[in-house]
Amino acid sequence: MPENRAQAATGGRIAADSGRDRKTLDLNGGHRAVSRLLIVACGALLWMTAVFGRLGYLQLFLHSEYMARAHRQQQRVIEITPQRGAIYDRNMHPLVMSIPVDSAFAVPSELGDQQLAARLLSGVLGIPREVIEARLESSHSFVWIARKLPPDKKEAVEALNLKGVYFQKENQRIYPKRDLASHVLGFVDLDEKGLGGIEYELDGKIRGKSEKIIVMADARQRWFDGGEAQRERGANVVLTLDEKIQYIAERELAAAIAKTRATAGTVLVMNPNTGEILALANWPKFNPNAANEAPAEARMNRAVTALYEPGSTFKLITLAAAFDQGITRPEEVFDCENGAVYVAGHRIRDHRPFGLLKVADILAQSSDVGAIKIALRLGAPKFYDYIRAFGFGQLTGVDMPGESKGLLRLLDNWSAVSIGSISMGQEVGVTSIQLISAVSAIANGGMLYKPHVIAELRRGDHVLPAEGPPALSEPRRVIRPETAATLRRLMEGVVLDGTGKLARLDGWTAAGKTGSAQKIDPATGRYSATRLIASFTGFAPINNPVVTILVSLDSPVGQHEGGQVAAPVFKRIAEQALLHLDVPRDVPIGPRVIQVAYKNREISDSATLEDFTPTDFSGLPDQPLVESTAPNKKGVKRQTLSSTVAVDEGGDIQVPDFFGKTMREVTEICLRLGLDPVLVGSRLATNQAPEAGTKVRRGAKITVQFGTPAPKIAEPHHKARH
């Protein structure tokens, strides 16, 4: 029994020891597993820390470097020409625009045989093979092959199907009217940067912001267009030019150059009441679509840049100063000394020997001696002040580049004979824009306006605010209204009875002044007897001037006086411009002129520029007046106009009876009723068409003939448009 108990005790101890051993083993195994997990976790944590640390380092510290490497390998950023704003005339007819065209570029690294590619491209583009090879060798990633290709050449390059040659859209400047108004519009270079005219003057506003394209490569270094960064388009420009008047001015100037064989010429047409330039034409001219092919002389805007001695046209300034100071009057008589006068010991001869002349005749006959005597009475200081007041010797501020301020010596530098020379237009250099601005001041009653060709800038439908202080654009008075009225009357005498008879208009009153200024002969340094600047400047109609026109011809051959060669150009331009502007006539005209007038009115309303033809009164037969026995409301039988306009019948406005009314009364009645009056003749109304009582629509044209008695008026062969 004791042995059994001992054995049992021993077995219990052994079992207990065995259980303790198993528990110890389990604990040791669990500690090892936890340790392993901890080791793995720590390793993973260290690995993640290293990875994220590296990523963070690359992203935070090396991002820009690696991005730059990627960009260098995968893409090219190319700046292309921005889309410039369009340029319009005053009636929103487009004169300049930009269109998309294709430019060809190459990635030389993609070209297999560069010499073969250069030879093929040279054949279709007309570019020397050596030039294309040099371009391909200049870079491995991107080179321009040819920019702004015509459609036919683009198709020819595309047909070659060369690997590594691609196309990109760019903007190209187009002048659809070719050389029309080229000196005003200017031109651009290959990168669409303005180099002349309005294109240069407003380059920063028209050009807009630069546009860039991104050309990208894939993993195999195959290049493709990665897109284009759109930028704000440049502002559109609306000019004061009238496209049709500009065409008339250029056509008549070209005809005068051909007839007189002059070396150069200028025509300016301005609204004297605002300073707006309606037309500016120079000869020689150029095509801005190919400006680089034209010589520099052809691209020069002579109207604002070229200086010349104005000659007798400057006598207007002499008389303006004298009348404004009250030192003479039109009826005063001066002794013109049979064509010669001495000033400070210098003998100055007149172009003709004149004796006693009224001041009005001094201007009409353009007497140099008479002008000198008036200037001597005025005195140099006052004369100088008026010359400066009219804007000579300083910039007019016209919004075109390259303006010259002219040549006017300071009063202290005048010689004793200067007052005599300047009074007849010598010893002073002017520009055409200065002279027409001064004559416009006489036309409008004495206010000098800043000449301008820019009407407004637009971006979409939004008109951009004007720049500069308003005071710079406000007119200033240079002479009294009474002085201007006196000069207008005297300038009418130049056209009616003086040296400017060939400038007399058919249907409108006109006033002006001729000029024939001798040029300096470079060989002798003296005035040439044969080389002159022939000019005429004037305005019409007299009582309510609508246009001021200046015509200048440099060195005409044969007839060379302003009244002979420049005055007829003024006449042709003025008649067509007034007709185009629907300016009522203020003098009676004959039946043949009436026919042509209505014909040209229809042309002006409906024709394109190419349809314009010079006014021609030849070969038109006189036709009888159509009689009417129908009495008017007062029971008086009278002749009536044949139907010269297509009556817009069926309206709700009854045409009044204008018989016996003045032009002002007729105009006021028509404007009040909403009708468009066409006034022919002067004094009192005698005939009208449509007849009184006819029902017409608002805006219908009503033709009224004035005179005592009514002149014969032929019926035109067609009806004018409404």
Of residues 342, 361, 340, 334, the one with CA closest to residue 352: 340
Q: How far, rounded to the nearest angstrom, does the alpha carbon of residue 620 sit from its chain's CA centroid?
A: 38
Report whether the peptide linkage leading into residue 677 is cis, meaning its omega lies within 30 degrees of zero. no
CA dist., res. 601 & res. 605, Å (int): 6
Of residues 201, 77, 224, 102, the one with CA closest to residue 155: 102
Q: How far, rounded to the nearest angstrom, does the alpha carbon of residue 55 sit from its chain's CA centroid?
A: 61
Q: Which of 150-154, 180-184, 550-554 has the lowest mean pLDDT?
A: 150-154
- Beta strand 236-239 with 87-88 is parallel
CA dist., res. 576 & res. 323, Å (int): 33
pLDDT in tens, 578-599: 999 999 998 876 555 555 554 5
The answer on pLDDT for 605 being more than 90 is no
Q: Which residue has the higher pLDDT, 467 or 508?
A: 508
CA distances from 519 to 72, 307, 529, 531, 561 (A): 64, 11, 8, 6, 13
Token pair, residue 80, equals 């292309």
Task: Return the C-alpha torsion angle 469, 475, 476, 477, nearest 10.
Answer: -170
What pLDDT was estimated at residue 662?
Answer: 80
CA dist., res. 675 & res. 481, Å (int): 32
What pLDDT was estimated at residue 210?
Answer: 63
Token pair, residue 443, equals 């036309």
Token pair, residue 503, equals 């400038």
Terminal CA-to-CA distance of the chain, rounded, Å? 150
Task: Out of 62-76, 212-226, 232-246, give the one with best mean pLDDT.
Answer: 232-246
Of residues 288, 264, 266, the one with CA closest to residue 279: 266
CA distances from 624 to 497, 592, 630, 631, 678 (A): 31, 11, 18, 20, 21
CA dist., res. 674 & res. 208, Å (int): 43
pTM for the model stands at 0.71
What percent of the chain shows pLDDT beyond 70?
A: 78
Phi/psi of residue 373, each to 5°? -65, -40
Name the 3-class secondary structure at 579: helix
Q: Which band of pLDDT confidence, cut at 50, 70 and 90, is reported for residue 23?
A: low
Angle between helices 114-125 and 151-160 (to 10 degrees): 150
Phi/psi of residue 513, each to 5°? -150, 135
pLDDT in tens, 514-546: 999 888 877 777 777 778 999 999 999 999 999
Token pair, residue 151, equals 């459609």
Q: Which of 178-187, 237-246, 546-555, 618-627 has the lowest mean pLDDT?
A: 618-627
Contact yes or no for 647/474 (Cβ under 8 A): no
DSSP state at residue 216: E
Q: Which of 315-319, 544-548, 638-642 has the lowest mean pLDDT?
A: 638-642
Average pLDDT over residues 158-183: 88
pLDDT in tens, 246-279: 999 999 999 999 999 999 999 999 999 999 999 9
pLDDT in tens, 70-129: 655 555 556 666 788 999 999 999 999 988 888 888 888 778 788 888 888 888 888 888
Of residues 450, 440, 449, 434, the one with CA closest to residue 306: 434
**Sign of torsion, CA 634 640 643 645?**
negative
Output helix, strand, coil percentages for the chain, rounded to the nearest 5.
40, 25, 35
What pLDDT was estimated at residue 614?
Answer: 33
CA dist., res. 27 & res. 191, Å (int): 85
Q: Which of 300-309, 390-399, 442-451, 665-674 has the lowest mean pLDDT?
A: 665-674
What pLDDT was estimated at residue 495?
Answer: 96
Sequence letter at residue 280 = L
Q: Which residue has the higher pLDDT, 664 or 3?
A: 664
Average pLDDT over the chain, rounded to whole? 81
Task: Out of 153-162, 288-297, 676-685, give the one with best mean pLDDT.
Answer: 288-297
* Secondary structure element (H or E) that encloses residue 574, with its range: helix 567-580
Report whether the peptide linkage leading into residue 541 is cis, meaning its omega lies within 30 degrees of zero. yes
Average pLDDT over residues 306-313: 94
CA angle at residue 451 from 398 to 476, to 5 degrees? 115
Provide CB contacts within 8 A for 375, sequence distance 6+: 318, 322, 383, 419, 420, 422, 423
What pLDDT was estimated at residue 430?
Answer: 96
Of residues 362, 361, 366, 263, the one with CA closest to residue 312: 366
CA distances from 355 to 85, 209, 340, 373, 702 (A): 61, 68, 10, 13, 51
Q: How far, rounded to the nearest angstrom, does the alpha carbon of residue 444 sit from its chain's CA centroid?
A: 24
The answer on pLDDT for 170 being more than 50 is yes
The answer on pLDDT for 608 being more than 50 is no
Q: Which band of pLDDT confidence, cut at 50, 70 and 90, is reported for residue 427?
A: very high
What percent of the chain shows pLDDT beyond 90?
A: 46
The answer on pLDDT for 422 being more than 60 is yes
CB count in 10 Å sphere of residue 459: 15
Contact yes or no for 441/484 (Cβ under 8 A): yes
Q: Exposure of 91 by Cβ count < 10 A (0-12 exposed, 13-18 middle, 19+ buried)?
A: exposed
The answer on pLDDT for 719 being more than 90 is no
What pLDDT was estimated at residue 722?
Answer: 33
pLDDT in tens, 134-147: 888 887 778 888 88
DSSP letters along 270-305, please? E-TTT-BEEEEEEES---GGGGGGS-HHHHS-HHHH
Q: Which residue has the higher pLDDT, 231 or 336?
A: 336
Of residues 87, 129, 133, 137, the one with CA closest to residue 109: 137
Report whether the peptide linkage leading into residue 690 is cis, meaning its omega lies within 30 degrees of zero. yes
Q: Which band of pLDDT confidence, cut at 50, 70 and 90, is reported for residue 565?
A: very high
CA dist., res. 372 & res. 342, Å (int): 10
Name the 3-class secondary structure at 442: helix
DSSP state at residue 629: -
Average pLDDT over residues 299-320: 95
Task: Out of 201-215, 246-260, 343-357, give the one with best mean pLDDT.
Answer: 246-260
Task: Out of 7-11, 51-55, 534-538, give the one with best mean pLDDT.
Answer: 534-538
Rg of the chain over Cα atoms, rounded to whole angstroms, equals: 42
